[in-house]
């Protein structure tokens, strides 16, 4: 949304805002009242809340803090700028918040005028007195005050005699009303301090005309009248409030003690309806829907509401979810109703907590979403009441639900629910209350979930990290897992984590979840090192002046690489041995973007890819970029959410480095045959590498090591497709990239012999098709290199005994490039009979 509304710049008079802006702010029902605009509005919190009224759901108020600290104020205005940019909001005359952050009242005043005009589409009229006070005439006017009289014709200067007469009349009037016991502040509440008015006032362009004045005489004291009015309002409020009917014992228990019950018993008798009565009616009406008449039955001798709570786990999903969605749809009406009485607020949330307790983890999401929305709206409605109720009554109830939950997924949803009742300054109290109501294990789990929602600049990080440092080496797997999760989230939020001395100790933990968390934590620590300016300028993309040797730069580079290798070694220790699919998945996901910065991680990646299943290998190498997804791998009491997807685009950037490492492995291992995993990775590397821009020596080494495995694969039906593509890649290397491959013709000829020896129709047809394509390509090539290669292969086949050319299919393939037809030394033999050989197929 954007606006072209033009607003002029105003000069404020003192600290006061225009009357229409004050009324506007008061009508928004903000969580904090504005008493001193210069102080209360300068930190950006209430400004964000103003925009949240006009853009509901788009302003995340939990990201703002009502604090006067410079860093919190800067964060608030930074969040506002992001909100403006995201929603295409253009506030007229807005040039940034720098002057407001410098406590410039004029800048804040004009910004408030601008957003008032922008949001309400109304203009602020600069009052005449303010225009005059800010004018040069006022600044140069004499200090001697003069008195003027407002008449129908205009303003006239009073003479000294008239002044004395007016003063006498005022004294007589004060004596006449002396018996009234009203303070001077009351009687003179409309007076304003006198202002010096210049004689040049008549030159101004406006006139004041009084057409009609009506008044009503006040009988008695103003104070007494106001007290009577307040009493009438209280009586009306009592008459309009609702009656609390008795239903179940569990619903009658409210947080009020017996003394408070006795004090409010008279008022409760006068109420007409309770929130439970309204919910009962809604459930009864819903049960009468045709689709629910047979499937939903209420208990005998029980209300519809009590039956719903007790049987919610067996009622159909569409009945339960539809009821909760109906409550969410009518959220405003329910909020207005329950906030008439504190007990009604408690009863409503007590009902939702009982539903959550009885719902299974798979179906609890809708009910928790209901509580989240009602909690956030309650804070907007009455923040003070909501906070006090939440701390004293709701939070202990939620803590009980957390302790009773078996599955961690449900615990995490409950902990997230607490966040909907939080405000930035309120979090310390929430954490303190949870600590007193929960065991250490459950408290640390809560902190682990809380930390995942904290902003980068949150003041809570030091407190949370303190608990993480205390328990990360605990003998309790649950405590250590929670502590590691807190440190992981801190590292993701760029909050400095100091664990350098404990990396190897943490990595040796054998509990699968701790190993996963160590991999995540160490990978985040590596990213933190890579993001530093020194790493970017000296290692990633060295500047022109820093490419030359420098002792200081060399020391910095050495230290940075040592840190990366230190954490990489920790990831390697935590990941191996690969005895868990979950651990393997997390290792691949979190190191994939670091392969270009750490040789240790690149070697670990290759090792994992070669050992995992084909399905996992395909997932790791060919997954596309997509939004992050999370899931609980093991839905137990000690399981956190972990990522599900990987971005393989990072791997393609280092495919040539992976290929070089794979070739080094093959050269060291001296395998007779390549397993399927090796062929898949080799094939993937060849597909994603541009050999034209690579070093010629490296390409020759790759071809030298892989050629025998590739052509041997042409006789294996399981890897036939991969071998075909790789053989074509090798031929392209020799004849297009001019890479020298020794004995290429002999190796290819021997692969044809082995294909015939396999006695497999698929293999035979494949090798025939491969040769035909090769011959056809040589006919289209302007170079004689490929033709000469095919002739050399033909000669090698001709010298073999028995020769594969005796097979009509093979010999026919070479007719187009061979001048002399093949003469079989055994014309009576139609097929080649190949005997077993003692030596290796690739011995020449």
User: pLDDT (tens digit, 9 = 90+) per residue, 168-185?
Assistant: 566 555 554 444 343 333
Domain extent listing, the chain: 19-125, 283-506, 507-541+556-646
Name the CA radius of gyration of the chain, rounded. Answer: 41
58, 87 contact by CB (below 8 A): yes
For the chain, the average pLDDT equals 78
39-48, 758-767, 777-786: lowest mean pLDDT where? 777-786
| pLDDT over threshold 60, residue 25 | yes
**Chain segment 100-158, per-residue pLDDT in tens:** 888 888 888 888 888 888 888 888 776 555 555 555 554 555 445 555 555 554 555 55
Q: Which two tokens stand for residue 715?
A: 């006789």
800 pLDDT more than 80: yes
528 touches 462 (CB < 8 A) = no
Task: Give me the mean pLDDT over the 717-729 stretch.
Answer: 90
**Token pair of 120, please?**
């309400």
- Pick the range with the lowest mean pLDDT from 29-38, 284-293, 314-323, 752-761: 29-38
Say whether pLDDT at 620 is over 60: yes
Asked if 575 and 515 touch (Cβ cutoff 8 Å), the reply is yes
Contact 116, 20 (CB under 8 A): yes
Cα 543 to Cα 449, 539, 546, 670: the distances in Å are: 42, 9, 5, 43
Residue 454 has pLDDT above 50, yes or no: yes
pLDDT above 90: percentage of residues in the chain: 23
pLDDT tens for each residue of 496-539? 888 878 888 888 888 888 899 999 999 999 999 999 999 988 88
Residue 170: C-alpha distances to residues 175, 182, 188, 191, 216 (Å): 9, 17, 13, 14, 20
State residue 183's pLDDT score.
38
**In terms of DSSP H, where are the helices of 405-474?**
408-419, 427-437, 440-451, 461-471
Interatomic CA distance for residues 658 and 599, integer angstroms: 10
pLDDT at 588 over 90: yes
Report residue 762: phi and psi, to 5°. -65, -45
Supply 561's token pair.
């690489």
Predicted confidence at residue 164, as pLDDT, reads 60
* Strand 148-151, strand 641-643: pairing: unpaired
| Range with the largest mean pLDDT of 262-266, 515-519, 619-623, 669-673 | 515-519
Angle between helix 761-780 and helix 785-799 axes, rounded to 10 deg: 140
Indicate the class that CATH gives domain 19-125.
mainly alpha
Looking at the predicted structure, is the pLDDT value of residue 258 above 50? no
CA atoms within 13 A of residue 185's CA, in its CB half-sphere: 1
At residue 587, the pLDDT reads 93
Q: Are 335 and 374 in contact (CB under 8 A)?
A: yes
**How far is the C-alpha of 93 from the C-alpha of 69, rounded, in Å?**
26
CA distances from 251 to 245, 274, 298, 303, 576 (A): 10, 11, 18, 12, 55
Sign of CA dihedral 376, 380, 384, 389: negative
- Whether 194 shows a pLDDT value over 50: the answer reads no
Residue-wise pLDDT tens digits, 350-400: 999 999 999 988 889 899 999 988 888 888 888 888 888 888 888 888 999
Report the SS3 class of residue 707.
Answer: helix
Q: What is the pLDDT of residues 270-320, one digit of tens each?
A: 346 889 999 999 999 999 999 898 888 898 888 999 999 999 999 999 999
Among the CATH numbers 1.10.150, 1.25.10, 3.30.420, 1.10.3470, which is that of 283-506? 1.25.10
Contacts of residues 740-743 at CB distance under 8 Å and 24 or more positions apart, as own/partner, are: 740/700, 741/700, 741/703, 741/704, 741/707, 742/704, 743/844
The pLDDT value given to residue 249:
40
Q: Would you call 67 helix, strand, or coil by DSSP?
A: coil
Burial class (CB in 10 A: 0-12, 13-18, 19+), 430: buried
| CA gap 585, 616 in Å, rounded | 8
Backbone angles phi, psi at 632, to 5 degrees: -90, 115
Q: Which residues contact residue 723 at a Cβ distance below 8 angstroms, ignoring those fewer than 6 apart?
A: 679, 710, 711, 712, 713, 714, 716
Res 225 pLDDT > 50: yes
Q: How far is CA 512 from CA 306, 574, 577, 776, in A?
A: 43, 9, 11, 56
Tell me the percentage of the chain whose pLDDT exceeds 70.
76
Tell me, what's the pLDDT at 233? 72
* CA–CA distance, 304 with 312 (Å, rounded to integer): 11
Separation CA 636–CA 512 (nearest Å): 13
Q: Which DSSP string do the residues of 335-373 spell out, in sequence order?
A: HHHHTTSHHHHHHHHHHHHHHHHHS-TTT-HHHHHHHHH
CB-based contact 703:739 (threshold 8 Å): yes
With 70 as the cut, is the pLDDT of residue 322 above it? yes
Enter the pTM of the model: 0.62
Residue 209 has pLDDT above 80, yes or no: no
Cα–Cα distance between 575 and 612 in angstroms, integer? 13
Mean pLDDT for the stretch of residues 158-167: 58
- pLDDT of amino acid 300: 85
Separation CA 320–CA 651 (nearest Å): 46
Compute the distance between CA of residue 775 and CA of residue 282 in angstroms, rounded to an integer: 81
Write down the number of H helices and E strands in the chain.
42, 4
Q: Is the pLDDT of residue 599 over 70?
A: yes
Residue 59 has a pLDDT of 85
Contacts of 404 (CB under 8 A, 6+ apart): 357
Nearest CA to 154 among 214, 122, 92, 201? 201
């Amino acid at each position: 949304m954007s606006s072209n509304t033009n607003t002029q710049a105003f000069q404020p008079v003192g600290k006061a805002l225009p009357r229409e802006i004050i009324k506007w702010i008061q009508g928004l029902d903000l969580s904090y009242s504005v008493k001193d605009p210069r102080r209360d509005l300068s930190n950006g919190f209430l400004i964000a809340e103003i925009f949240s009224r006009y853009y509901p759901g788009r302003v995340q108020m939990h990201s703002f803090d009502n604090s006067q600290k410079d860093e919190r104020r800067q964060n608030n205005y930074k969040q506002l700028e992001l909100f403006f940019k995201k929603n295409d909001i253009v506030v007229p005359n807005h040039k940034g918040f720098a002057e407001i952050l410098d406590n410039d009242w004029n800048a804040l005043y004009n910004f408030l005028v601008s957003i008032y005009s922008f949001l309400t589409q109304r203009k602020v009229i600069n009052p005449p007195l303010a225009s005059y006070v800010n004018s040069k005439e006022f600044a140069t006017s004499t200090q001697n005050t003069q008195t003027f009289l407002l008449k129908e014709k205009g303003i006239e200067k009073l003479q000294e005699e008239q002044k004395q007469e007016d003063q006498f009349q005022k004294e007589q009037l004060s004596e006449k009303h002396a018996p009234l016991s009203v303070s001077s502040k009351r009687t003179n509440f409309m007076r304003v301090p006198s202002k010096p008015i210049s004689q040049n006032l008549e030159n101004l362009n406006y006139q004041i005309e009084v057409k009609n004045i009506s008044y009503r005489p006040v009988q008695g004291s103003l104070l007494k009248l106001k007290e009577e009015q307040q009493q009438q309002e209280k009586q009306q409020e009592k008459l309009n409030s609702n009656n609390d009917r008795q239903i179940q014992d569990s619903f009658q228990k409210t947080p009020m003690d017996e003394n408070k019950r006795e004090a409010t018993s008279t008022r409760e008798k006068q109420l007409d309806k309770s929130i439970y009565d309204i919910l009962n009616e809604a459930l009864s009406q819903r049960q009468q829907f045709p689709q629910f008449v047979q499937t939903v039955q209420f208990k005998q001798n029980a209300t519809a509401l009590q039956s719903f709570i007790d049987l919610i786990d067996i009622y159909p999903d569409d009945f339960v979810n539809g009821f909760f969605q109906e409550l969410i749809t009518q959220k405003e009406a329910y909020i207005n109703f329950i906030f008439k009485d504190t007990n009604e607020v408690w009863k409503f949330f007590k009902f939702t907590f009982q539903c959550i307790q009885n719902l299974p983890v798979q179906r609890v999401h809708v009910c928790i979403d209901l509580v989240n929305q009602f909690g956030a709206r309650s804070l907007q409605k009455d923040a003070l009441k909501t906070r006090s109720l939440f701390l004293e009554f709701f939070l202990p109830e939620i803590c009980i639900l957390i302790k009773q939950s078996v599955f961690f997924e449900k615990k995490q949803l409950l902990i997230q629910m607490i966040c909907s009742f939080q405000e930035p300054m309120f979090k310390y109290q929430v954490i303190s209350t949870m600590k007193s109501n929960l065991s250490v294990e459950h408290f640390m789990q809560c902190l682990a979930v809380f930390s995942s929602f904290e902003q980068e600049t949150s003041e809570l990080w030091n407190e949370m990290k303190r608990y993480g440092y205390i328990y990360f080496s605990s003998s309790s797997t649950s405590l250590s897992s929670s502590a590691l999760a807190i440190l992981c989230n801190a590292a993701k939020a760029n909050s400095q984590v100091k664990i350098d001395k404990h990396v190897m100790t943490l990595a040796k933990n054998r509990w699968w979840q701790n190993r996963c968390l160590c991999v995540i934590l160490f990978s985040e620590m590596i990213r933190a090192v890579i993001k530093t300016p020194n790493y970017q300028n000296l290692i990633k993309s060295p500047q022109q002046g820093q490419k030359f040797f420098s002792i200081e730069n060399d020391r910095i580079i050495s230290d940075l690489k040592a840190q990366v290798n230190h954490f990489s070694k920790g990831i390697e220790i935590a990941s191996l041995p690969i005895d868990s699919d979950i651990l393997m998945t997390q290792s691949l996901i979190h190191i994939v973007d670091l392969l270009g910065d750490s040789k240790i991680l690149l070697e670990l990646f290759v090792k994992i890819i070669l050992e995992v299943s084909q399905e996992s290998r395909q997932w790791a190498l060919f997954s596309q970029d997509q939004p992050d997804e999370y899931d609980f791998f093991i839905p137990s009491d000690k399981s956190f959410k972990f990522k599900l997807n990987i971005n393989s685009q990072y791997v393609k950037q280092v495919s040539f480095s992976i290929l070089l490492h794979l070739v080094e492995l093959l050269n060291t291992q001296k395998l007779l045959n390549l397993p399927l995993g090796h062929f898949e990775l080799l094939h993937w590397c060849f597909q994603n590498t541009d050999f034209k821009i690579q070093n010629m020596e490296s390409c020759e080494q790759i071809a030298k090591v892989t050629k025998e495995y590739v052509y041997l694969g042409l006789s294996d039906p399981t890897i036939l497709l991969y071998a075909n593509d790789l053989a074509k890649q090798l031929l392209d290397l020799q004849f297009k990239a001019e890479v020298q491959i020794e004995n290429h013709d002999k190796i290819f000829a021997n692969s044809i012999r082995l294909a015939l020896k396999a006695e497999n129709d698929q293999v035979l047809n494949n090798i025939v098709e491969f040769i035909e394509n090769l011959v056809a390509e040589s006919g289209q090539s302007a170079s004689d290199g490929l033709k000469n290669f095919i002739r050399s292969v033909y000669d090698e086949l001709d010298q073999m005994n028995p020769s594969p050319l005796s097979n009509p299919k093979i010999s026919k393939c070479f007719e187009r490039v061979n001048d002399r037809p093949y003469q079989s030394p055994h014309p009576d033999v139609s097929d080649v009979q190949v005997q077993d050989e003692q030596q290796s197929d690739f011995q020449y």
